[in-house]
Amino acid sequence: MRVNSLIDDPPPGAPVPPILPPRDGFLFLDREKFADSFAADVPPQQAAFMADAQVPWGVDALQGTVTKPAWRDLPSWYLVATDHRMIPLPAQRAMSQRAGATVTEVAASHAVYVSQPQAVAALIKEAATARG
């Protein structure tokens, strides 16, 4: 599976991440649309800082191929962010179901690790405890 397949051909009405055209082989999110799409539940000043502090990601990363996903052999946990505007909710649910993951849902954006770190930490603790 190619990584790009996760964002190819979004369903009607799905959010479209504000990815700018590549620059020198790297991608960024549009700074002006960053907060709404990536960090809608983060305080505005913090979301603006996050937009300014983006780390570019390589265009080549989208062409990467996953040949043996770990979830096929290992137990998985998935935090569905229901207010996500980068990855459509049906896609998150489909990925977690395909992986047979233990799922926790929380009303949060893509930046759930910033807006609700306690939910992220609780899921990590749950996974770690289950794995012994």
HSE of 57, CA atoms in CB hemisphere, 13 A:
11
pLDDT digits 0-9 by tens, 35-70: 999 999 999 999 999 999 999 999 988 888 888 999
Residue 102 amino acid letter: T
- The CATH architecture annotation of domain 3-131 reads 3-Layer(aba) Sandwich (3.40)
Q: Is 2 helix (H, G, I), strand (E, B) or coil?
A: strand
DSSP string, 103-126: EEEES--TTHHHH-HHHHHHHHHH
Average pLDDT of the segment spanning 71-75: 94
Domain boundaries, the chain: 3-131
